Structure 1
Amino acid sequence: MTQPAVLALVDHHDGVVRAPAFELLTLARSLGPVEAVWLGSGLADALDLLAEHGVSTVHQVDLEADVTVATSARALAEIMVESGATTVLLSSTFENKEVAALTAHETGAGLSVDAAGLERSGEGRLVVHQQAFAATWTLQVEITTPRAVVAVKPNAVPAEAEPTGQAPQVVVHALVSPPAARTRVVERTVRPSSGRPELGEAQVVVAGGRGTEGDFSAVEELAEVLGGAVGATRVATDEGWIGHETQIGQTGVTISPRLYVGAGVSGAVHHRGGMQSSGTIVAVNADPEAPIFEIADFGVVGDLFSVLPQAAAELRRLKAEQA
């Protein structure tokens, strides 16, 4: 019996596919035949990349107006029904969680967000792995409805290519019943680019806390060398030392990078709740009793303004030797 398709929403910006989309496609391949959903224009330049990651069919909705949460959800719902797919996967961003909820509502699907993994049960049902209570508990949730919509955390699985050997089939859709325009986009302001990866998607994050005393230069330097993102604690953002978009924690961004470096970060519970699922945790703090050392894989007791520049210099030296 042929398995129903798994739809994966491919997030992109100006036609450039965002890194978590490849992780979704990797995960989707373990569940069934993979079909991608592309909202907006710019698909032509991405077809080869999608083929390299196992996509056989791309459902494109070439929206003339701005893509909104409502139009995204309606498009996913209509494609899910039309294609016969039983599973929709999205990257678990703030916006996509809302899209997932609306899509599940429209299709009567079971909903799960911030998934850390997925698998099929013996009965063919979708089993979602999640982390709770500041990543101290691991849960398994079985979705019992025929359809499922799941938002997966970035960095939940490593992206792996699996070429199809041929270009994906493109199926163009028009919204059959566009949602009522209760809201409209009046303006978009592009956030200035730092040249670093997005915080929620980054595989390396260097975070600064109260110990920086407002000087993030050493944190930014190390992040630059590692090709990572810069994060911060709530204290640092509340003090105005750095923008609120960098806040990691229960009331900020939840991250799960391969490497997290906390510099001058005490390790308060609300911050740990947003980063405790990181692969490797490195702590640099002048206080040997700082709670972050309890969860750190590697700890350095010392002045971050001495330790971080030394680490950055050594990394540059090693990179120069390998060049």
Structure 2
Amino acid sequence: MAILVIAEHDNATLKLDTAKVVACAQAIGADVDLLVAGDDCSAVVDAAKQLTGVRKVLVADNAVYGNGIAENLGDLLVSIAADYQHMLATASSLGKDVMPRVAALLDVAQISEVVEVVSEDTFVRPIYAGSALATVQSLDAVKVMTVRSSAFDAVANDGNAEVVSLDGVFNSAVEFVSQTLTKSERPDLGAASVVVSGGRAMGSADNFAILEQLADKLGGALGASRAAVDAGYVPNDLQVGQTGKIVAPDLYIAVGISGAIQHLAGMKDSKVIVAINKDPEAPIFQVADYGLEADLFDAVPKLLELI
């Protein structure tokens, strides 16, 4: 039996998270195939076949897969499920949309947000907003899983996998209408090596400008706590936390963030955490590698002068 990883992409670029899910698949210990389902996605296929450890790249290139409609992708995955003992996707909006449907159609239990592989049927996943870890065993014939990519290092790009085209086309009654994408010159929040996040203490959307300057100087991405997003300071696609994006950059700078468990669940695996907060009792200081007890409106401008 083999393992199938669902590639995360935008029809032009293969997302780094895919290489991290491949690393998780390799830890399970079987042949790894990669599914690229999209529309006019030859550039993605070229990148996918270079991932180290991938045996085959299965390609479903058709307009019905171009927008990531779960019904279409789910039916496609079910059609080839008999060849695989594990089916993995990143715990992104796509993975959270498609994989539960696949699990339901296969009548198996999904294992969500895997952060560690114990054996081919036993995995570790966070529970209670990341405050505890559960070790779970699945006896299902097919293990349908989403993987927290921040818990794994990406594989290299020195492979040369075989490319196989899939003929089946599954087109549901669901119709794609439109999507609105946020465009930014900054790195993607989930893949950035540096993340600068602001909390409710920023006070307004205008005040986030100083964090944007800091992020730009460091070549990083801008993030925010749920409180800042709920207050309307920044769009919700910048939210870091249990109900937002899970990040694990080399450097995470938390500015005016108290450190609620909901937020910590999304960034506590960062390699270096720096916290700036005027409240010495803020929970964020308990997980921070470096803490600065100061007013952010004094500290951040001084930091900008030093960079």
Distance, in Å, in 2 between the alignment partners of 1:289 and 1:304 is: 16
1:159 aligned to 2:143?
Answer: no
Secondary structure of residue in 1 paired with 2:63: coil
Distance, in Å, in 2 between the alignment partners of 1:42 and 1:7 is: 18
Distance, in Å, in 2 between the alignment partners of 1:237 and 1:38 is: 33
Distance, in Å, in 1 between the alignment partners of 2:275 and 2:115 is: 24
Secondary structure of residue in 2 paired with 1:245: helix
Structure 2 match to 1:188: 179
The counterpart of 1:226, out of the listed 218, 224, 249, is 218
1:171 aligned to 2:168?
Answer: no
Structure 2 match to 1:42: 41
Equivalent positions of 1:1-323 (< 5 A) are 4-30=1-27, 31-40=29-38, 41-44=40-43, 46-47=45-46, 50-65=49-64, 66-81=67-82, 84-120=83-119, 125-161=120-156, 163-164=158-159, 167-175=160-168, 178=170, 180-181=172-173, 183-189=174-180, 191-214=181-204, 215-315=207-307
Distance, in Å, in 1 between the alignment partners of 2:96 and 2:117 is: 17
User: 5+ residue gaps in structure 1?
Assistant: 316-323
- Spell out, residue by residue over 1:134-160, the C-alpha distance to the aligned partner (whole angstroms, 9 max, x if none): 322122111111210111112211113
AA at the equivalent of 1:34: V
* Equivalent pair of 1:59/1:173 in contact (CA under 8 Å): yes
Secondary structure of residue in 2 paired with 1:12: coil
TM-score where L is the length of structure 2? 0.88
Q: Give the superposition deviation at 1:34.
A: 1.4
Distance, in Å, in 2 between the alignment partners of 1:100 and 1:80 is: 12
Pair 1:263–1:208, CA change in 2 (3 A): same
User: Percent identity among equivalent residues?
Assistant: 30
- Spell out, residue by residue over 1:45-102, the C-alpha distance to the aligned partner (whole angstroms, 9 max, x if none): 6425532422221111122224301111111221222xx2111110101231121111
Q: Give the superposition deviation at 1:265.
A: 0.9
Pair 1:230–1:172, CA change in 2 (3 A): same
Distance, in Å, in 2 between the alignment partners of 1:180 and 1:113 is: 25
Pair 1:139–1:201, CA change in 2 (3 A): farther
* Equivalent pair of 1:129/1:139 in contact (CA under 8 Å): yes
* Equivalent pair of 2:34/2:48 in contact (CA under 8 Å): no
